[in-house]
Structure 1
Amino acid sequence: MTQPVSDTLQALVGAALPHVAFDGWSPAAFRAAVADSGIDPALAATEAPRGALDLAVAFHRMGDAAMVEQLGAMDLSSMRFRDRVATAVRLRLELAEDREAVRRGTTLFALPQNAPLGAQLIWGTADAIWTALGDTSDDLNWYTKRATLSGVYSATVLYWLGDDSHEHADTWAFLDRRIDEVMQIEKLKAKMRETPVLKQFADIPNQIFARVRAPRTRRTDVPGQWPVSPEGPR
């Protein structure tokens, strides 16, 4: 599940995009979006208290939501699982029609003060993909799957931003190579579990992490952020 984006934020993002190419996700772009959309400035400030930064976040989450919606309408049952993941990543990038807005967002979230938020958004995309593909893991695998896919997605986005090949063919080839590398790691782990001599070494970290569980409140959690109940920390 992706975090919802209000109609007001969606309208502001749509009004901001023509300006982002020139001004980036900046205060100038935010002011222009408010003026062009006709939204009351007080309401805009309430919906986006951090200004253009909140619009960039909304733009990213709108892309995640569109990807999840389209994945839900696709029949992926005949595909290998690695191909389903590749399809999801490719779809996510293809839905980001405004590549300059993505480029400007990448620059914005690379700033030290925004880097944690950028990492959270990438994690959210990875979580949205795994959830849409039916992942039910509830242990350490919940984290490793999302961490691995976050790395693959981030690298692919950077490659895509500089790719001028026909229909981004080089990007999709790059994506396939990254996923193949991940699959090689999974095969190695499986081989360790099947080899008696190596299994004893593999069992040590398994015992250590056996009690690790996915966050109770999923979808909005990221590593290091845990929900707090009225009774105190969980």
Structure 2
Amino acid sequence: MQQDDTTQDTGQQGDIRDQLLDAALMHVAFDGWSETTFRAAVEDAGIDPGLARAICPRGSVDLAMAYHRRGDLAMAERLKITDLTGMRYRDKVALAVRFRLEAATDKEAVRRGATLFALPQHAADGAKLIWGTADAIWTALGDTSEDGNWYSKRATLSAVYSSVVLYWLGDDSPESAATWAFLDRRIDDVMRVESFKQQARRNPLLKPFMIGPDWLAKQIKAPKARPEDLPGSLG
């Protein structure tokens, strides 16, 4: 019975956090993800300040992280109902990144979040969020890798996603057409690297140089409990 109570409390906390987040978004454009925004959200949502602080100990930082993760969930849900049959894998990845950006309906909230997580004291949180987005995309696309490829896929996609977000924030082209073209170029760059690696493995002259890296990649294991935790383990 205690387990049910805990689950219920967790759900209630999530509901309250969502209320605070929805209220905060009305203020982020003016005050950023700041203490001023958090206090205004608490007042607007009619939440007890002590309860709000218990759920979001770091105030607007926790709300900014919740906003980012809300976008990850929206992207994953949209992918679930999208027919990806017959699509190339690179196109699936590109589509997932596009869905993730389109889930961010408030560009100014993203811009303010980028500013927040660029601060040294919050940089680790920002990196964790980007890694979480990359993991959410690969998981939604059915990635089953369990060795070093688990990390390399997410690290590469994290870099792609970060650059595309920054481009998108400054893009004023109709329907973000320039951003989608930039995204395609970045994905193509990654695919060229992967193609080179595959060719190197088949080339008698280059194959010996790939043995060591390939062996090491097989020894690295993906984390089992919390995918966002690093560095995993050596098996």
TM-score normalized with structure 2 length: 0.92
The one-letter amino acid paired with 1:89 is V
Moved more, 78-87 or 4-13: 4-13
Is 1:7 the counterpart of 2:7? The answer is no
Deviations 1:165-186 (A, max 9, x none): 0000000000000000000000
Alignment match of 2:197 (pick from 159, 178, 189): 189
2:145 maps to 1:137: yes
Find 2:211's aligned residue among 179, 203, 206: 203
1:222 is displaced (CA, Å) by: 3.0
Out of 71, 77, 88, which is 1:63 matched to?
Answer: 71
Structure 1 window deviating more from structure 2 (154-163 vs 39-48): it is 39-48
Q: C-alpha displacement at 1:42, in angstroms?
A: 1.3
1:25 and 2:33 aligned: yes
Farther-moved stretch of structure 1 (51-60 vs 199-208): 199-208
Which letter maps to 2:182?
A: F
User: Of the two structures, which has the highest relative contact order with CA contacts closer than 8 Å and spacing of 6 or more?
Assistant: 1
Q: Is the 8 A contact 1:123 1:222 kept in 2?
A: no
The amino acid that maps onto 1:30 is F
What amino acid maps onto 2:215 in structure 1?
Q
Residue pair 2:149, 2:217 contacting (<8 A) in 1 also: no
Aligned to 1:222: 229
SS at match of 2:218: coil
Q: Indicate the SS of the match to 1:203.
A: helix
**Does the Cα contact within 8 Å between 2:138 and 2:154 map onto a contact in 1?**
yes
Kept in 2: contact 1:20–1:29 (CA 8 A): yes
Q: How many residues align?
A: 223
What do the CA deviations read for 1:30-82 (whole angstroms, capped 9, x no partner)? Answer: 00000000111111011100000000000001110111111111111221110
Which residue in the other structure is 1:231 paired with?
none
Quote how far apart the aligned CAs of 1:217 are: 1.2
Q: Which position in structure 1 is the counterpart of 2:181?
A: 173
Q: Contact 2:71–2:104 at 8 Å: present in 1 too?
A: yes
Identity level (%): 61
Q: Structure 2 CA distance, aligned partners of 1:62 and 1:103?
A: 16
- 1:118-157 correspondence to structure 2 within 5 Å: 118-157=126-165
**Match in the other structure for 1:82:** 90
8 Å CA contact 1:60, 1:121 repeated in 2: yes
Q: Supply the distance in 2 between the matched residues of 1:71 and 1:209 (Cα, whole angstroms).
A: 29
Q: 2:111 aligns with which of 96, 103, 106?
A: 103
1:132-168 Cα distance to aligned partner (Å, 9 max, x none): 0000000000000000000000000000000000000
Deviation at 1:102, TM superposition (A): 0.2
Q: Which runs of 5+ in 1 are unaligned?
A: 228-233
In the aligned structure 1, how far is the partner of 2:190 from the partner of 2:229?
22
Written as runs of structure 1 = structure 2, the 5 A alignment for 1:24-63 is 24-63=32-71
Matched residue SS, 1:141: helix
Structure 2 gap segments, 5+ residues each: 1-10
